[in-house]
Amino acid sequence: MTEALFFNAHAGYLEGVLRGFKAGLLTQSQYSNLTQCETIEDFRMQLGATDYGNFLANETPPISTSTIAEKATQRLVDEFNYIRSNSVQPLTKFLDYMTYAYMIDNVVLLITGTLHERDTHDLLERCHPLGKFETMATLCVATNVEELYTTVLVETPLAPYFRDCLSAQDLDDLNIEIIRNTLYRSYLEDFHNFVLSLGSPTSDIMSPLLCFEADRRSLNITINSFGTGLSKEQRAKLFPSIGRLYPEGTSALARADDIDQVKAVLDGVVEYRPFLDTSGSSSGGDGGVGGLEDHFFQYEVSLNKLAFMQQFQLGVFYSFFKLKEQEIRSLTWIAECIAQNAKDRINDYIPTF
């Protein structure tokens, strides 16, 4: 109850701003208008009538889909930075936690890129702007895990998460994946603890979101590790200790050998049951994993939408940016379909509101 009294004092304004941003998310009718576009030019015109306004007006045609995604992401980043620079504790810390996920992705991207001897500047441009930190560029110097930690990561917020990975020796593709997932596991657990420490109602909203994220990662790790050199013990270590599948589900996943065993695990949770259900669903044709991602996104969107039902909590901040990200993914998908003239698949986007 005290939240209702004092929440507005520290985050009320920003929540108002954010709900304003949320009102700018594309609606179903706007999506259906977008899908009717014949060319990217039409697409741009149609977007001009939405909250995006004329954000592409100064681009010289022809416009590529990557430009659209880039500009849209830039808007997301601007909005995020506006919120972050006006925030106070505990919202600041909460938003910082949100950026850690992007940081992990950026770190892994850079390490992998360096491993495959890509150009550092190209890699830097491909990094997500929300996950940028000062010493990020120097990641490319490191050649082994320990060096990575001692030179660069030790002073970033990721340092505590990285401590668990120090045992890994060489940087190869498998190890990098292990590093990524270990980092993510520690991050999710840490974030979850932080969210719990904020108490209800933030934790009521955020906990399911983070738990789902954890479950999603566990499932992905399991499915992707079939037929790779990853041992089952190693796999078990990568599963976050939160989520609805933990602990019975994850231990079953750790022992799983094929997709059917995964399916058996999923049957334990009602909401997850249709994820791998290839029989009834319409998109089942392309078999399992591709449809799984879409199911994940859809379920995530529905969870995020729930966050807006409750006031006086920080979950809306997380949810809005996740929804916005989803919107950008959808926009890019539609634009890509238009550009490649693949009209038959244009409706496979995932609408938000």
Partner 1 sequence: MRARADLARFAHTLVHNHSLARMVSEYPSLLRSEEMSLVQLYVPIDVAHSTVEELARLERIQFKDLNPDVNPFQRTYVSQVRRCDEAERRLRFLTVQIDAQGIPMRPFEETQGLLAGRSGAQALDELDSRLVESEQRVAAMNNSYEALEKRALELEEARQVLIETDVFFREASTRHDEIRTSFDEGASAPLLGDIEAGRGPEESGFGGFELEFVAGTIDRARMPTFERVLWRVLRGNLYMNYAEIDDSALPVPTSEAGSQAGGEEKKLRKNVFIIFAHGQELLDKIRKIAESMGATLFSIDSNADKREEKLREVTARIEDLNSVLYNTNQTRRTELLKIAESITAWWTIVRREKVVFATLNLWQWDQGRKTLVAEGWAPTRDLPIIQAALRQASEDAGTSVSGILHELKTHKTPPTFHRTNKFTEGFQAIIDAYGVGAYQEINPGLFTTITFPFLFAVMFGDIGHGVIMAASAFALIMLESKFKKGTGSEIFDTFYFGRYIIFLMGLFAIFTGFMYNDIFSLSLNLAKSQFRWPTDFKEGDLVEAIQTTNRYPFGLDPSWHGAANALIFTNSLKMKMSIVMGVIHMSFAICLQVLNHLHFKKPELIWAEFLPQILFMESIFGYLLLCIIYKWSVNWEEVGKNPPNLLNMLIKLFLSPGNVAPEDQLYPGQATVQVFLLLLALVCVPWMLCTKPYLLWKEHQKIAEQGYHGIGANGNGAIAAEDHEESDAEGGGHAVVAEEMDEEHEFDMGEHVIHQVIHTIEFCLGCISNTASYLRLWALSLAHAQLSEVLWSMTIEGAFEMEGTAGVVFLFLMFAMWFTLTVGILIVMEGLSAFLHALRLHWVEFNSKFFIGGGTPFAPLTYEGTDEIPEGVIVAA
Interface residue list for partner 1 (CB under 8 A): 33, 36-38, 41-42, 45-46, 49, 57-58, 60-61, 120, 124, 134-135, 137-138, 140-141, 150-152, 154-155
* Nearest CA-CA partner of 135 in 150, 122, 119, 116: 150
Least distance to partner 1, CB of residue 24, Å: 19
Give the residue with the Cβ less far from partner 1, 38 or 267. 38
Give the residue with the Cβ less far from partner 1, 110 or 301. 110
Give the residue with the Cβ less far from partner 1, 162 or 272. 162
* Nearest CA-CA partner of 101 in 185, 165, 222: 185
Cis check: omega of the bond before 247, within 30 degrees of 0: yes
Least distance to partner 1, CB of residue 48, Å: 8
Give the residue with the Cβ less far from partner 1, 33 or 310. 33
Least distance to partner 1, CB of residue 335, Å: 14
Beta bridge partners of 170: 144
In whole angstroms, give the CA distance from residue 288 to residue 281.
11
Least distance to partner 1, CB of residue 86, Å: 20
Least distance to partner 1, CB of residue 135, Å: 6
The Cβ of residue 210 has, within 10 Å, a number of other Cβ atoms equal to 26
Least distance to partner 1, CB of residue 315, Å: 34
Give the residue with the Cβ less far from partner 1, 42 or 105. 42
Give the residue with the Cβ less far from partner 1, 28 or 283. 28
Least distance to partner 1, CB of residue 108, Å: 17
Give the residue with the Cβ less far from partner 1, 162 or 212. 162
- CB neighbour class for 2 (10 Å; exposed up to 12, middle 13-18, buried from 19): exposed
Distance of CA 337 to the CA centre of its chain: 22
Beta bridge partners of 144: 170
Position 261, amino acid? Q
* Nearest CA-CA partner of 18 in 102, 107, 84: 84
The CA-CA-CA angle for residues 187, 172, 250, to 5°, reads 40
Least distance to partner 1, CB of residue 336, Å: 18
The Cβ of residue 9 has, within 10 Å, a number of other Cβ atoms equal to 9
Give the residue with the Cβ less far from partner 1, 135 or 228. 135
DSSP string, 85-128: HT--TTHHHHHHHHHHHHHHHHHHHHHHHHHTT--HHHHHHHS-
